[in-house]
Amino acid sequence: MRYDFDVIVIGGGHAGIEAAHAASRLGCRTLMIAANLDTIGAMPCNPAVGGPGKSHLTREVDALGGVMGQGADATYLQMRVLNASRGMAVQALRAQSDKREYSLWMKLFMEGLPELTLKQGMVTGFVTDGQRIAGVQLALGEQLTAGAVVLCAGTFLEGTIWIGRLSTPAGRAGEFPAIGLSGYLQSLGFTLERLKTGTPPRIDGRTINYANLPVVPGDEPHSFFSFLDSRPIRPQLPCHQTRTTAATHEVIRSNLNESPLFSGLIHGRGPRYCPSIEDKVVRFADKDSHLFFIEPEGRNTYEVYLQGCSTSLPIFVQQKIVHSLPGLESAVIVRPAYAVEYDYLPALQFKHSLMSKQLEGFFAAGQILGTSGYEEAAAQGLIAGVNAACYVRGKEPVVLSRSSSYIGTLIDDLVTKEIGEPYRMMTSRSEYRLLLRQDNADVRLTPIGRDLGLVDDHRWSLFWCKQQGLEEEKKRLASTRIHPGTQWDEALSDCEEHINQSITLEELLRRPRVPYSVIEQICPSGDDPFAWGHEVETEIKYAGYIERQKAQVAQAEKLDWVKLPVGIDYLSLDNLSREAREKLNRIQPETLGQASRVGGVSPADVSVLLVWLEAGRRAARSKEINNFVPPPPVSGSGVCSV
């Protein structure tokens, strides 16, 4: 069949952008359909990229050849490393972005892709060929065919906005929801459930008294998300802090009956790690104050974002909350906060490739699979776009393991665990976070991106230049021997360290309190500062722990190499616990490793599966031997050829 397109991507958000970019870069004729082409790459919540766990995803997307890191670097208002005083495994870069500039940058970037077509429209159904997808049906009657479809609908499926007891159909403020597609998906046999997320009020920055508010500046010099060398240096804007007061909490408690969340009007589950302010006040009743950040939305607007003040309370209550905050006593709300409730597809219905288990060629990514955040959406979008391209080309899907990336951890959690709330990536979700640092994402993933065809020659040459530089610096540190002296005593005084005998620079750097900057100061690698000193320092300081974690990875991955047959009737395996039977039958894991991570599956259950698999292999081998018919003897030799 000759399709109109190879891949159709539904949605122009962060997941849709990465999916369409990946598929088109891999040579597929790709169509991206968005309800509004003017809001491609929109940031309806906080206009920011990165943060704990999320910066790791952004760097990984970039290392694979994705777009988000480049867009964040091109449009930042401020760059800052969070958890800078802690270990490299949990340090995280965060960019406050110019929301309009980011969206425009993304639209122009996507318009420049030669294999990509953009179209404004609303999808209401699919074209199917048996149990295989074959295209989409648009609201205005158009039918477009494709070999694969990627659904990146965000919060638009039957979306409803709530402000107090007032509700209106919308995917986000000012934009129509997707009506009818949920019912169509259910008619195909998909299960849909309901989630909720929210956003805080936007304030007229000119009406805020900043005089006594703590300032949060950007880093100087600052880091970037992309591993590419196009790094614009832009003037940074400051952020500020304020806090809730006793008056704030009293306003919230006395108006909980006005909250659609607490009055039962909202049925969707909200995010655990980014709750509304009314949820915080109720859940953490022992806390007398909560921190808010006042962050600019752009260089050419006076609107600011009140991070931490997500709420669905009525506008008159929102005004009281804002006026109870230090510095905001006379502040004017430009756009009210709201909650949005929407349908999503629990990801247990999808494989690690993000293709549906029941409709071949149908992929999904982003908030439609139950995640929260731009970065989580972008990571899924890239994998879904790559695998949609692989599917139409007849190639094996790309599956990233938990030990290779946070992207692999994210997708494995989604398709393995029963998650009833919006999923947010955090470093604590990975058992291998010392290996999966944001600084080494390129080491882990750029070779994979190169094999796929997403990493061009320029990025590849930059990657190899960096790897060569790292190896040369490690050799220099291991071979350069230093001796006690005044200059070292002075340089190490702040570290409360000193040198008593001749040692190598590597041995000195291995000491916990000695930073690479001391070595760069006294014994530099060259005329210019070494660009990747932090990475060298981390690998040397934590070498023992890193090797131990690699051994753990090797042990755990043994189970991931054990494939499970498709369509096992786990309910018939009596030696498994009842909970394990029910959950495994519902999830149908692809490997024994995935089965071991299903909630309710114990190590004893894994052992039972191992015994069952081995018994099956022996039975198959015995049957093969019993059914073996030797070939006739070779003429004249009397010997059978086996």
Residue 39's SS3 state is: helix
- Measured CA to CA, the distance from residue 28 to residue 452 in angstroms comes to 13
Q: What's the token pair of residue 458?
A: 């320029």
8 Å CB contact between 117 and 330: no
8 Å CB contact between 601 and 593: no
Residue burial 105-144, b: 16+ Cβ < 10 Å; e: rest: bbbebbeebebbbbeebbbbbbbeeeeebbbbbeeeeeeb
Residue type, 118: L
- pLDDT (0 to 100) of residue 35: 94
8 Å CB contact between 68 and 14: yes
Q: What are the counts of helices (DSSP H) followed by strands (DSSP E) for the chain? A: 20, 22
- pLDDT (0 to 100) of residue 486: 81
- pLDDT (0 to 100) of residue 631: 65
Residue type, 476: R
Please state, rounded to an integer, the average pLDDT across all residues of the chain: 92
8 Å CB contact between 489 and 514: no
What phi and psi values does residue 597 have, to the nearest 5 degrees?
A: -95, 0
Nearest to 270 by CA among 413, 41, 262: 262
- pLDDT (0 to 100) of residue 624: 64
Other residues' Cβ atoms within 10 Å of the Cβ of residue 269: 17
194 forms beta bridges with: 343
8 Å CB contact between 48 and 189: no
Q: Which of 4-8, 48-52, 238-242, 600-604 has the lowest mean pLDDT?
A: 600-604
pLDDT range class, residue 636, cuts 50, 70, 90: very low
Residue 298's SS3 state is: coil
| pTM for the structure as a whole | 0.92
What phi and psi values does residue 601 have, to the nearest 5 degrees?
A: -95, 115
pLDDT at 637 over 50: no
Residue 284's SS3 state is: coil
- Measured CA to CA, the distance from residue 308 to residue 504 in angstroms comes to 48
- Measured CA to CA, the distance from residue 430 to residue 23 in angstroms comes to 28
- pLDDT (0 to 100) of residue 629: 60
- pLDDT (0 to 100) of residue 45: 87
8 Å CB contact between 313 and 321: yes
- pLDDT (0 to 100) of residue 380: 98
pLDDT average, residue stretch 280-284: 91
**Tokens 């393991």 sit on residue:** 401
pLDDT average, residue stretch 291-299: 96
Residue 109's SS3 state is: helix
8 Å CB contact between 110 and 116: yes
CA dihedral 541, 547, 548, 550 (to 10 degrees): 130
Q: What's the token pair of residue 141?
A: 């009657």
pLDDT average, residue stretch 110-139: 96
- pLDDT (0 to 100) of residue 642: 33
Q: Which of 552-566, 586-600, 623-637 has the lowest mean pLDDT?
A: 623-637
* Total count of residues recorded for the chain: 642
Per-residue model confidence as pLDDT tens digits over 405-455: 999 999 999 999 988 889 999 998 998 988 999 999 999 999 999 999 999
- pLDDT (0 to 100) of residue 625: 66
Q: Which of 109-123, 130-144, 335-349, 544-558 has the lowest mean pLDDT?
A: 544-558
| Cis amide bond preceding 524, omega within 30 | no
- pLDDT (0 to 100) of residue 639: 35
- Measured CA to CA, the distance from residue 580 to residue 573 in angstroms comes to 10
pLDDT average, residue stretch 67-81: 97
pLDDT range class, residue 144, cuts 50, 70, 90: very high
Residue 343: left if φ>0, alpha if ψ -120 to 50, beta else—which one? beta
- pLDDT (0 to 100) of residue 640: 34
Q: Residues 385, 389, 394, 396: is their CA dihedral positive or negative?
A: negative
pLDDT at 634 over 90: no
pLDDT range class, residue 638, cuts 50, 70, 90: very low
Percent of the residues in the chain that have a pLDDT greater than 70, as a whole number: 97
- Measured CA to CA, the distance from residue 39 to residue 593 in angstroms comes to 40
- Measured CA to CA, the distance from residue 603 to residue 433 in angstroms comes to 23
pLDDT at 356 over 60: yes
pLDDT average, residue stretch 617-641: 60
162: Cα within 13 Å, side-chain hemisphere: 26
- pLDDT (0 to 100) of residue 495: 82
Structural domains of the chain sorted by starting position, each given as residue range(s) with its CATH number in brackets: 5-197+342-447 (3.50.50.60), 202-338 (2.40.30.260), 456-545 (1.10.10.1800), 562-626 (1.10.150.570)
309: Cα within 13 Å, side-chain hemisphere: 35
- pLDDT (0 to 100) of residue 84: 85
